[in-house]
């Protein structure tokens, strides 16, 4: 493994510093100098596996790490199996429920399954590593924790936005939440890393690690933050709380359709953040959006599906979109459900039926979609969520533009 020689050409290094990056600490110049040195550097990204269902906004740091892996540097994915049991307070208005060890282990496995299309864990020459911070964090005694804590002030911690918001809202802040950035910061010391990746919303925690690396190892640690992918509202970062997340585990058809649902104003943003286009290629896309936004959005949707599911799946997803959405045809691979398996003997409301058929996650979701005029039964638009249906008389159910069921 140590025989891997890193790529130090100006072309490779300059290509790394693209529009996906948000900030580099202490500076881009210092980081470029380290990459040009010829030393094989060790980078990591810590994953607090409390939410194993990742969306495409989560992958931006992975894309940058994949570039460094191809350049010959060491890449570590750190599973926060210990810190997940504390719960990261970042961007949280209330205390997070702590997870059991079993839940964390299961989430870690699901996480790796979702990112393996981007990061190479099976390379013969330079495979990415997986580590778990319980290896060292669970061995920290009280003396060691006090020593780590002595490097930070209460003022440093209390100034965080989410804590200020809780104080203003008269909500509790628990002491173990203060310890989270300290414990996460110690991961950098334990692994003796040269750099850490994360979204810009993780800057505070990563800088805590930088402070500890200076104190304990007397060396530089680079902190590289990446930009956040915007949700369909064009303002907030993509998150489950905002909605319209494009999940890695979505079907190819769902991914394609969700990308097609973003406003034209975000086509360029998604191309910049999700792809590895050159500045010349991005200029060309920008020009084409002005005259053919639909085609450029379809190219983007194809790219997103291909990234996770391959070219053939992307072709099928595009064909499905053109048939069902543009040409309003019933999909060929529609899910068929025998009526007698539903265990419904009486008339049922449309919102309950959508939930039973797993077309929505909740009855409130059903009500919202009906209000958006996105539900049809046998070609008839449904306008009332409490409308009663006779299960024996209906066949085709469409929920949104992409989700269909056929009762047989």
Summarize the confidence of residues 159-187 as an average pLDDT.
Answer: 84
Cis check for the bond before 26: say yes or no (omega within 30 of 0): yes
What is the CATH classification number for the domain harbouring 264?
Answer: 1.10.240.10
Q: What is the pLDDT of residues 22-79, one digit of tens each?
A: 999 999 999 999 999 999 999 999 887 666 678 898 889 999 999 999 999 999 999 8
Give me the residues paired with residue 396 across strands.
Answer: 406
Distance CA 176, CA 179 (A): 5
pLDDT of 10:
93
Same domain membership, residue 200 and residue 59: yes
Distance CA 72, CA 1 (A): 10
Summarize the confidence of residues 289-300 as an average pLDDT.
Answer: 94
Range of the domain at 319: 252-326
Distance CA 163, CA 151 (A): 20
Last residue of a domain, one of 305, 326, 347: 326
Q: What is the pLDDT of residues 317-358, one digit of tens each?
A: 998 888 877 776 777 677 888 888 887 777 888 888 888 888
Highest-scoring range by mean pLDDT, 4-13, 105-114, 174-183, 375-384: 4-13
Quote helix, strand, coil % in the chain, to nearest 5.
50, 15, 40
CA dihedral 242, 243, 248, 252 (to 10 degrees): -150
pLDDT of 91:
46
Same domain membership, residue 361 and residue 298: no
Same domain membership, residue 201 and residue 281: no
Is position 375 within any domain?
yes
Question: Is pLDDT above 90 for 109?
Answer: no
Q: What is the mean pLDDT of the chain?
A: 86
CA-angle at 306, arms to 70 and 114, nearest 5°: 65
Distance CA 182, CA 126 (A): 30
Contact 224, 31 (CB under 8 A): yes
Mark 126-158 as b/e (b = at least 16 C-beta within 10 Å). bebeebbbbebbeeeeeeeeeebeebbeeeebe
pLDDT of 114:
86
Residue 159 has φ and ψ, to the nearest 5°, of -75, -10
How many CB atoms lie under 10 A from the CB of residue 364? 12
What is the CATH classification number for the domain harbouring 153?
Answer: 3.40.50.620
pLDDT of 95:
46
Give me the residues paired with residue 79 across strands.
Answer: 47, 132
Is position 244 within any domain?
no
What is the CATH classification number for the domain harbouring 343?
Answer: 3.10.290.10
Same domain membership, residue 220 and residue 151: yes
Q: What is the pLDDT of residues 140-155, one digit of tens each?
A: 999 999 999 999 988 8
Is position 243 within any domain?
no
Collapse the DSSP code of 388 into the 3-class scheme (helix H, G, I; strand E, B; otherwise coil) and give the result: strand
Is position 238 within any domain?
no
pTM of the model: 0.75
Number of domain units in the chain: 3
Is position 212 within any domain?
yes
């Amino acid at each position: 493994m140590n025989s891997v020689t890193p790529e130090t050409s100006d072309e490779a290094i300059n290509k790394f510093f693209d529009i996906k990056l948000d900030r580099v600490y202490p500076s881009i110049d210092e980081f470029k100098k380290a990459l040009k040195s010829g030393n094989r550097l060790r980078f990591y990204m810590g994953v607090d596996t409390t939410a194993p269902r990742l969306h495409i906004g989560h992958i931006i740091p992975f894309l940058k790490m994949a570039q460094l892996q191809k350049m010959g540097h060491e890449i570590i994915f750190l599973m926060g199996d210990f810190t997940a049991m504390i719960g990261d307070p970042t961007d949280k208005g209330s205390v997070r429920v702590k997870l059991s060890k079993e839940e964390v282990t299961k989430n870690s496995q699901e996480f790796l399954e979702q990112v393996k299309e981007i990061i190479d864990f099976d390379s013969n020459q330079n495979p990415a590593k997986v580590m778990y911070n319980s290896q060292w964090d669970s061995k920290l005694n009280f003396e060691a924790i006090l020593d780590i804590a002595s490097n930070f002030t209460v003022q440093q911690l209390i100034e965080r936005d989410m804590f200020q918001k809780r104080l203003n809202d008269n909500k509790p802040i628990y002491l173990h939440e203060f310890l989270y950035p300290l414990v996460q910061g110690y991961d950098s010391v334990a692994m003796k890393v040269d750099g850490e990746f994360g979204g810009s919303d993780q800057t505070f925690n990563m800088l805590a690690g930088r402070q500890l690396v200076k104190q304990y190892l007397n060396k530089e640690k680079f902190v590289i933050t990446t930009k956040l992918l915007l949700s369909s509202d064009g303002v907030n970062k993509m998150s489950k709380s905002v909605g319209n997340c494009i999940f890695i585990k979505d079907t190819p058809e769902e991914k394609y359709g969700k990308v097609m649902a973003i406003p034209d104003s975000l086509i360029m943003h998604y191309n910049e953040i999700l792809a590895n286009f050159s500045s010349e290629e991005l200029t060309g896309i920008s020009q084409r959006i002005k005259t053919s936004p639909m085609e450029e959005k379809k190219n983007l949707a194809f790219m997103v599906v291909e990234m996770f599911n391959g070219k053939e799946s992307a072709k099928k997803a595009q064909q499905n979109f053109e048939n069902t959405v543009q040409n309003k045809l019933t999909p060929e691979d529609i899910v068929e459900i025998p009526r007698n398996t539903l265990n419904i003997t009486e008339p049922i409301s449309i919102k309950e039926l959508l939930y039973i058929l797993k077309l929505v996650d909740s009855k409130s979701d059903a009500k919202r979609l009906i209000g958006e005029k996105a539900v049809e039964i046998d070609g008839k638009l449904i306008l009332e969520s409490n409308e009663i249906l006779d299960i024996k008389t209906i066949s085709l159910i469409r929920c949104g533009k992409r989700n269909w069921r056929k009762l047989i």
